[in-house]
Structure 1
Amino acid sequence: MELTLELAEKILASQPFSVLLGTRVTTFGDGAATLELDIRPDLLQQNGFVHGGVLSYAADNAITFAGGAALGPAVLTGGFTISYLRPAVGRLLRAQAKVAHAGGRQATCTCELSTLDENGEATLCAIAQGTVIAQRG
């Protein structure tokens, strides 16, 4: 099965939670993936920042898509960590993940999460690292 942006879009569209959030995959391939979602009032916490759960979701999914770009589409997150660097505010959340190392059934990936303001200026708000594992057939 050829791994393409179109296939990644179909996989993302099959995830009800991703559809609920309005997530888009904007780049995919060569061991990398970028997911984006519009920042809406219902995704914020009480101080007006993007909720940490939304940032974690974006990191988890971007890492898994990047790992899938290297290992194939049948993958799962094995685990990940995230560090919140600053409050996430803006109009768009972007999660850019790439494979740092891939073996036969496992890939270690990194992810940078940034928000974009009205002028398109990006601010790094979190970083994550995770392990993606290929499912056995």
Structure 2
Amino acid sequence: MERNKMFSIGQQALAAQSFSRLLGTKLVVFQPGEAVLEVPVQENLLQQNGFVHGGVLSYAADNALTFAGGSVLGTNVLTSEYKINYLRPAIGEKLVARATVVYAGKCQAVCRCDVLVVKDGEEETLCATAQGTIVKMSSEIPETGR
């Protein structure tokens, strides 16, 4: 598939996620085996100590993992499982979640993701790392929850 078309499909998928729209998530890279998402850090995403809430880091990792897996399996995918390690507090202006495919078969892909925080416009600090398994959706699962 042509990269521009693939990127456009990725943007449409992200735009269809109301939670991603709420957070202002942006798709930066979507190509075979790789996805990069950015989430602007807003005050309402911080926990009591002023760090980005772990749930936001987890969301960024999970979504980037799923996009990376979907880049090789097709867009009809779900996260089967993932594990995240929080390495240090996230303090900055935006999160960057960079995910790559480690291995892909016909029905599942194992992916990894680093979540970094950008401070002062360019300084990146690794805050979390994750690994997950992305699977093609079964025809038995409804496409929407509505």
- TM superposition score category, shorter chain reference: over 0.9
Counterparts of 1:10-89 in structure 2, within 5 Å, are 10-89=12-91
- 1:43 is displaced (CA, Å) by 0.3
- 1:118 is displaced (CA, Å) by 1.3
| Over 4 Å off, 4+ runs | none
- What is the identity, as a one-letter code, of the residue corresponding to 1:91? E
Match of 1:104 in 2: 106
Scaled by the length of structure 2, the TM-score of the pair is 0.91
Does residue 120 of the first structure (1) align with residue 122 of the second (2)? yes
Q: Secondary structure at the match of 2:126?
A: strand
- What is the identity, as a one-letter code, of the residue corresponding to 1:120? E
Q: Is the 8 A contact 2:45 2:52 kept in 1?
A: yes
Specify every segment of 5 or more residues in structure 2 that has no aligned partner in the other structure, as ranges. 140-146
- 1:136 is displaced (CA, Å) by 2.9
CA RMSD of aligned residues (A): 1.2
Does residue 133 of the first structure (1) align with residue 135 of the second (2)? yes
CA offsets, 1:106-133, max 9 Å, x none? 0000000000111401000000000000
Specify every segment of 5 or more residues in structure 1 that has no aligned partner in the other structure, as ranges. none
Q: Is the 8 A contact 2:99 2:114 kept in 1?
A: yes
Q: Secondary structure at the match of 2:95?
A: strand
Count of paired positions: 137
Match of 1:90 in 2: 92
Scaled by the length of structure 1, the TM-score of the pair is 0.97
Please give the alpha-carbon distance, in whole angstroms, between the structure 1 residues aligned to 2:121 and 2:21.
26
Please give the alpha-carbon distance, in whole angstroms, between the structure 2 residues aligned to 1:114 and 1:29.
20
Please give the alpha-carbon distance, in whole angstroms, between the structure 2 residues aligned to 1:112 and 1:33.
11
CA offsets, 1:17-70, max 9 Å, x none? 000000011000121100001101000000000000000000000000000001
